[in-house]
Amino acid sequence: MSTNKKFPKWVGIILLVIVLIAGVIGWKGYQAFLGSSVTDATPYLYVHTNDTYIDVLNRIKTDKIVKDPETFDYVAKLMKYPESIKSGKYKLTPGMSNRTLIGNLRGGYQEAVKLRFSNIRLKENLAAVLGENFQADSAQFSALLNNEALAEQYGFTKDNFYAMFIPNTYEIYWNTSPEKVIERLNEEYKKFWTAERLEKAKALNMTPAEVSILASIVRGEALHNDEMPMIAGLYLNTLKKGMLLQADPTVIFANNDFTIRRVLNKHLTIDNPYNTYRFKGLPPGPINMPPIVAIDAVLNPANHDYIYMCAKEDFSGYHAFATTVTEHLVNARKFQKALDDRNIKK
């Protein structure tokens, strides 16, 4: 005799409903934690120092960083992110899950800034670049770059402090304080000035800062890297002879007019220590941020007897060099005529 009993149909229906509900809940839970959440609206999320969770959540909503801010909020609270806010620059990958994003935020796994700077003329230009790359603004960096006590702390003066910054690429975290950024760049400066470079500077009877100042003038004169050692050698010759450098880029700097294309007598009269037509020796500080190639050109100058140079009349960017005033005046007249022919008067 069979003892098998059939379950009532309604029991099966209830079980099926329970399974379906569990499946839906499970699927929603999976989507909330592990499903695609981050959009392609912006590549980074910036969390500022002293930001609260509400600040971060509002930024996420405003910048449309995730598809569903409410779900993000739910998961963030479950993962206790509101109690673990860490400032930084966080890389966002489209399709990233809430769990991964929140895990990165809680752990402070930010992406370092690749700080690149070169061809920068003035300290305020450097401050602007730093302000664009870090949480602190340009005014905070400018205050440090013009801080005499800080310059002296690193072995510089307020005028030559700019020589400490070597154009290159550095990786530094976005939320690093301005003071720590300057400290890091000083560490890189020390690494740059190897024993070999220091020995070469000593052989020239120059400090590293003086090398950088001269390199900035070389950079101002040279349009072609391959001519930098020649120009460096010329300026070193004039310094050894106690002559005025008479470098046009220093006059332009002294006049604070970088639109000047033709240095005239009126520009040479300015009473400014950067005017090397009036003041002997090197100016107090760099007139720009010299690239490494210019610094190395000063440390490895071409060996010659030239003490005069003038831009070539073909406007190639190269110079005509001379050992005597007579030769130099011939070259200078050629260039002046070329300027007149092109109607370049100032």
Give 128: exposed, middle or buried? Use CB within 10 Å, 0-12, 13-18, 19+: middle
Which pLDDT score, from 0 to 100, does residue 191 have?
A: 97
Which pLDDT score, from 0 to 100, does residue 207 have?
A: 98
HEC letters along 224-266: CHHHHHHHHHHHHHHHHCCCCCCCHHHHHHHHCCCCCCCCCHH
Determine the average pLDDT of the residues in 235-252.
Answer: 96
Domain boundaries defined on the chain: 32-107, 113-192, 204-341
Is residue 27 over pLDDT 50? no
Q: How many residues does the chain have?
A: 346
Which pLDDT score, from 0 to 100, does residue 1 have?
A: 47
Q: Looking at the domain that runs over 32-107, which CATH code has it been given? A: 3.30.1490
Confidence of residue 30 (pLDDT cuts 50, 70, 90): very low
Closest CA to 74 of 98, 106, 108: 98
State how far the alpha carbon of 168 is from the alpha carbons of 72, 112, 119, 150, in Å. 39, 15, 11, 22
Whole-structure pTM value: 0.86
Is residue 4 over pLDDT 90? no
- Higher pLDDT: 12 or 113? It is 113
Closest CA to 233 of 280, 300, 291, 302: 302
